[in-house]
Amino acid sequence: MGAGPRALLDGGLQQALREPGNRVYTKIAELPADRWHAEIQTSFELMRMLSGAVREARDSNRLPIVLAGNCNTAVGTLAGLGAESTGVAWFDAHADFNTPETTTSGFLDGTAVAILTGRCWTQLAATVPDFQPIADERVCLIGTRDVDSLEGGLLDESKVKLIPPRKLRSSLRDALGAVSKHVDRIYVHIDLDVLDSSVASANSYAVAGGLTVDNVEYALSEIARLFRIAGLTLSAYDPAADRDGAACKAGIKLICMAAGFAMQA
């Protein structure tokens, strides 16, 4: 999935963003090869780097768009956007709500939303400039359908809103309305495997029963109706899993779509 950002750029993302008349500035955030030591250490170092880069874009009155291999980069992105005043719309097949005590895979990415809400890795998260945990009431999971059993217990005990694909049209508006009582700006995080695996094979974790591109467009329109989109991420695209190129095309379309809604505000 670390190859995903470059593949999206090579696939024409920058040109697609420029077509409506936007100016696009690209900054590569990566660590030198000799700085890679361990998943946890390296991931938090990247989060710290992202916080500064996103803050720089925000201070320049630009829309920050982050292309990431992993979802845990959201900690740095949200910090750069201003965690103290921003909600989260989290498009993902998975809840990413595990903690080190509940995970059975040991995959750090599966703890991303748990970190955002202050449930784990609190000492390391505190080293990310401007990061602070956000309240459950400011988070809405959209298109989520593959939840581990212990993870599901944590979600049931939380106040995080979860909208499975089958309830998108009936429940999303009310869920977003509840979030809007706490914030008026939002960070849109799109893990490409939120799409149904028959629509696009985003990565090896893709599962059936997900959203279509039209479903995501509907959800983004509802988000833009209530919030100012402060920044966005597209993550977890693995070009090796995308044998027909459909996921790359869908990813570029979703980024441009979300950016368009953000620029309308």
What CA dihedral angle connects 157, 159, 165 and 166, to 10 degrees? Answer: 80
CB 191 within 8 A of CB 94: yes
Q: Is there a domain that residue 18 lies in?
A: yes
Cα(222)–Cα(71) distance, rounded to whole angstroms? 23
Q: Are 16 and 256 in contact (CB under 8 A)?
A: yes
- Mention every residue, 6+ apart, whose C-beta is less than 8 A from residue 85: 183, 185
Residue 90 in domain: yes
Could you give the 3-state DSSP secondary structure of residue 161?
A: strand
Find, among 144, 155, 255, the residue nearest to 210 by Cα: 144
Round to whole Å and give the CA distance between 48 and 42. Answer: 10
Q: Is it the case that residue 13 has pLDDT exceeding 80?
A: yes
Q: Which CATH number does the domain housing residue 216 bear? A: 3.40.800.10
Look at residue 24 in the predicted model and tell me its pLDDT.
96
- 86: β partners: none
The model's pLDDT over 233-263, given as tens digits with 9 standing for 90+, comes to 999 999 999 999 999 999 999 999 999 999 9
Nearest CA to 230 among 167, 188, 174, 194? 188
- Per-residue pLDDT of 154-208, as tens digits, reads 999 999 999 999 999 999 999 999 999 999 999 999 999 999 999 999 988 889 9
Is 90 exceeded by the pLDDT of residue 130? yes
The answer to the question of residue 33 being in a domain is: no
Asked if the structure places residue 32 within a domain, the reply is: no
**Residue 213, amino acid:** V
Range of the domain at 230: 4-24+38-264
Q: In this structure, is residue 31 part of a structural domain? A: no
Burial class (CB in 10 A: 0-12, 13-18, 19+), 58: middle
Domain count, the chain: 1
Q: What percent of the chain has pLDDT over 70?
A: 99
Query: What pTM was computed for the model?
Result: 0.96
Asked, for residue 30, whether it belongs to a domain, the answer is: no
pLDDT at 73 over 80: yes
Average pLDDT over residues 75-98: 97
The 8-class DSSP code of residue 90 comes to: E
Q: What is the spatial distance between Cα 160 and Cα 47, in angstroms, rounded to a whole number?
A: 23
- Answer whether residue 5 shows pLDDT above 80: yes
Flag whether 67 is in a domain. yes
Average pLDDT, the chain: 95
Coil, helix or strand for 151?
A: helix
Q: What are phi and psi of 170, to 5 degrees?
A: -90, -25
CB 251 within 8 A of CB 206: no
Note the pLDDT of residue 31: 80
Instruction: Determine the pLDDT at residue 30.
Output: 82
Residue 101 in domain: yes
